[in-house]
Amino acid sequence: MTRPTSRDVATAAGVSQATVSLVLGEKWRGRVSERTADHVRHTATEIGYRPNLAARNLRLGSTRTALLVVPALTNEFFARVYTGAARVAAQHGFGVVLYPSPDGTGPARDPFPSARAALDGIIASSMAADALHALGGDELPLVMLDSDPTAKNAAAHVNLAIADGMRHITQHLLAHGHRRILHLASAIDSWTFDARANTLSALLPPTTELRTVRAHLSVDAARTAMESALDTPRDHRPTAIVCDDDILAAGACKAARRLGLRIPEDLSVTGFDDLALATAVEPELTTVHLPAERVGEQGMTALLAVLEGTPWTAEDIPVELVVRDSSGPAPTT
């Protein structure tokens, strides 16, 4: 069966081939009515028309491809970011290549013979800006997600209201009478985790005791760190653990159970991210919901704006505290 051409679309839609070219090439605004453009797109879909991307890209000098760089594929957050980015990309005839950096948040290697030739732009989630030089240098537009907003080599930034999330957690625990708090911090050196630590420290009053323990992002690493930190007399033990993400919180809960501590009666535990894991553990985690798909959507939208030469500005994406059963009043002496 012969693949339908743009001429077939024009015949089926009852318009000129020039009109079809304008609509399918996204150059119709101001030349073709929105109603006609919708009719042409609908007709193209109905007859099964698919553009010859190789020919179009050669003609336009564009690959219509974006690279999404993430530190790892094992974290559900980044899968959701990709889903959001790919959704917006598809609406504009773009593709998104997902690239887990072999060195995590460290310097990323170029996955292509030359990223400059294979890509139109780069979106990087939770990466350091200077870790991406090998991919595009100053030649490819870079959009940073959940990263240092002061980075100078990024064309646009899309950030979550991370400080607000930690503020919600802090206020929640203080309202429940917690005054001995342990921060189970990620051992990864990155802006997003630094923002959580700095906000927590700044918000706690002088009458509150704060202790920090670091662990790698795994349940086992968090459990091991917490078994040691919690194995102390009751009057020195923290009454609440603030975890940098839900994976660390799951490990903290596991450690508490092994030491015979009840959650939340003896110890409150909070997470960050609101992954599927948050409702898989028992009791379910109080955590901060991060709308990861929206991060990906805004990241791709920002890249498209940059490619069109349009300045990108946006407020930080709001986050929400989800209170579940892992937190409650501080235990009485």
Binning pLDDT at 50, 70 and 90, where does residue 78 land?
A: very high
pTM for this prediction? 0.77
pLDDT computed for residue 156 by the predictor: 92
pLDDT computed for residue 24 by the predictor: 79
Mean pLDDT confidence for 8-35: 84
pLDDT computed for residue 57 by the predictor: 45
**CA 202/CA 195 separation, integer angstroms:** 11
pLDDT computed for residue 235 by the predictor: 87
Report whether pLDDT(104) > 90: no
pLDDT computed for residue 131 by the predictor: 67
Which pLDDT tens digit goes with each residue over 134-148?
665 567 889 999 999
Residues of the chain with CATH 1.10.260: 6-51
Look up the CATH number of domain 162-290: 3.40.50.2300
Which pLDDT tens digit goes with each residue over 292-333?
999 999 999 999 999 888 888 889 999 999 999 999 999 986
| Three-state SS letters, the chain | CCCCCHHHHHHHHCCCHHHHHHHHCCCCCCCCCHHHHHHHHHHHHHCCCCCCHHHHHHHHCCCCEEEEEECCCCCHHHHHHHHHHHHHHHHCCCEEEEEECCCCCCCCCCCCCCHHHHCCEEEEECCCHHHHHHHHCCCCCEEEECCCCCCCCCCEEECECHHHHHHHHHHHHHHCCCCEEEEEEECCCCHHHHHHHHHHHHHCCCCCEEEEEEECCCHHHHHHHHHHHHCCCHHHCCCEEEECCHHHHHHHHHHHHHCCCCCCCCCEEECCECCHHHHCCCCCCEEEECCHHHHHHHHHHHHHHHHCCCCCCCCCECCEEECCCCCCCCCCC
Lowest mean pLDDT among 28-32, 163-167, 212-216: 28-32
pLDDT above 90: percentage of residues in the chain: 59
Mean pLDDT confidence for 71-86: 92
Binning pLDDT at 50, 70 and 90, where does residue 153 land?
A: confident
Binning pLDDT at 50, 70 and 90, where does residue 58 land?
A: very low
Which pLDDT tens digit goes with each residue over 246-287?
999 999 999 999 999 999 999 999 999 999 999 999 999 999
Residues of the chain with CATH 3.40.50.2300: 60-158+292-312, 162-290
CATH label, 60-158+292-312, candidates 3.40.50.2300, 3.30.70.260, 3.40.50.1010, 3.30.70.270: 3.40.50.2300
CATH label, 6-51, candidates 1.10.260, 1.10.10, 1.10.3470, 1.25.60: 1.10.260
